[in-house]
Amino acid sequence: MKILFAGAGALGSRFGYMLFKNNEDVTFVDSWEEHVRNITNNGLKVIIDEVDLGNYYIPTYHPDQVRGKYDVVFVATKSMQLRAMLEKVKHLFHDDTKIICILNGLGHVETLKDYIKEENILIGVTVWTSGLGGPGVLNAHGTGKIELKQVKEINLDETLKLVDRLNDAGLNIKYSADTYQSIWHKAGLNCVLNTFCTLIDCNINQYGSYDKNLELTRAVLNEITAVGKAEGIDINQDVIENNIKNCFPLETAGAHYPSLYQDMKNGRLTEIDYLNGEISRLGKIHNIPTPVCDVITLMIHSKEFINNNK
Ligand code: NAD
């Protein structure tokens, strides 16, 4: 089974490393020249829980250089890079290639459907975390799990076999009919914590320390719940609110600055259009006003522009 990682940043390289270590045939494709060069020349340096686990020579290419056909493709770009990456790798798919998408945010199935049959799209959500310590260096902590669902359940047996095989490498995937709900619940959390920590300039614990921020949280969640329900998603706003509160203590995620905050600080574009921006877009379709998400999206884009993020 040939597995391609279309995007081998923090999360892609972590899953790719786990599968490679379990003797799977793994290839990375990435557009970041220095990252590709370092992995090719020195191997992917893997540090997990502060332990240096060595260097792994996972075949890594720039999108123009890769050849052949792949059976499973993990897309692991940032949301706004997904379509461009699919354009670059679509010639590597055969009729039955399965795509696994665990990107944060909303709206990815619509993009994937332009490239692959619905029965071959496995959409998911993950609580694994990962980071890069520079180009060619994976620096990650802890463990995690993935929830996954085949968008159109044809030949589900094949998918379940694939899940078992990926789990042999420790990915900890649960096939779940509730995946869409989980995707929206995680997006709800990100629409609050990623954006407000960035705009207020604080970590998650600091956001939680001011009681009145609950009004900000609810202003966003009210819109997400209304739009999600119009989309047919069984959203439970209390669950999202509790998930957010559970991140506040320093012992959980309180000391963390969310990924959107880090992208903003590092001069990179953010995933805002797939979070609050997608709520605004869907709100218009369903005739549901989303003034809070509209303003947040504009403010994040304004900050990206002023910072000259790319
Ligand atoms: P990432 O930014 O590490 O990688 C995405 C792409 O950007 C890769 O192609 C990578 O090579 C490139 N890139 C990374 N740093 C770069 C730099 N300094 N210069 C140029 N290019 C660079 O993204 P990620 O964290 O792997 O996230 C992929 C998807 O998974 C996103 O949708 C994210 O929200 C989601 N996700 C991430 C985590 C996590 O802990 N990293 C957890 C859950 C979900």
- Helix (H), strand (E), coil (C) string for 41-98: HHCEEEEECCEEEEEECCCEECHHHCCCCEEEEEECCCHHHHHHHHHHHHHHEEEEEE
Q: Is 146 left (phi over 0), alpha (psi -120 to 50) or beta?
A: beta
Closest CA to 47 of 5, 10, 102: 10
Residue nearest to atom 17 of ligand 1 (CA): 32
**Residue 69 dihedral angles phi and psi, to the nearest 5°:** -120, 145
Instruction: Calculate how far, in angstroms, residue 11's C-alpha sits from the geometric centre of ligand 1.
Output: 6
DSSP class of 132: B
pLDDT at residue 34 in the model? 98
The span from the CA of 3 to the CA of 19, in Å, is: 9
User: Any idea which residues carry the catalytic annotation?
Assistant: 186
Which residue lies with its CA nearest to atom 22 of ligand 1?
32
Please give the ipTM for the structure prediction: 0.99
Nearest CA to ligand 1 atom 32: 103
Query: pLDDT tens for residues 137-194?
Result: 999 999 999 999 999 999 999 999 999 999 999 999 999 999 999 999 999 999 999 9
Quote the pLDDT of residue 136. 98
Q: Using CA atoms, how far apart are residues 10 and 132, in angstroms rounded to an integer?
A: 5
pLDDT at position 113 is: 98
Helix residue spans in the chain (DSSP H): 10-21, 33-42, 82-89, 108-112, 156-168, 179-200, 204-209, 213-230, 237-247, 259-265, 276-286, 291-306
Mean pLDDT, contiguous 10-residue spans, the chain (310 residues): 98 98 98 98 98 98 96 98 98 98 98 98 97 97 98 97 98 98 98 98 98 98 98 98 98 97 97 98 98 98 97
Counting from 1 in the atom list of ligand 1, the atom nearest the Cα of 76 is 28
Rg (CA), the chain: 19
- pLDDT above 90 covers a percentage of the chain that reads 100
Residue written as tokens 């992208």?
263
Q: Give 98's strand partners.
A: 72
Cα distances from 283 to residues 90, 109, 286, in angstroms, run 31, 18, 5
pLDDT at 134: 97
Which residue is it, tokens 């520079």? Answer: 134
Query: Of 210, 247, 240, which is closest to residue 223 (Cα–Cα)?
Result: 240
Task: Compute the distance from residue 128 Cα to the ligand 1 centre, in Å.
Answer: 13
CA 254 to each of CA 4, 134, 193: distance values in angstroms, whole numbers, following the listed order: 34, 24, 11
Q: In this predicted structure, what is the pLDDT of residue 118?
A: 97
What pLDDT, on the 0 to 100 scale, is given for residue 278?
Answer: 98
Q: What is the pTM of this model?
A: 0.97
Compute the distance between CA of residue 14 and CA of residue 16 in angstroms, rounded to an integer: 5
For residue 169, the model assigns a pLDDT of 98
Q: What count of other Cβ atoms lies within 10 Å of the Cβ of residue 63?
A: 17
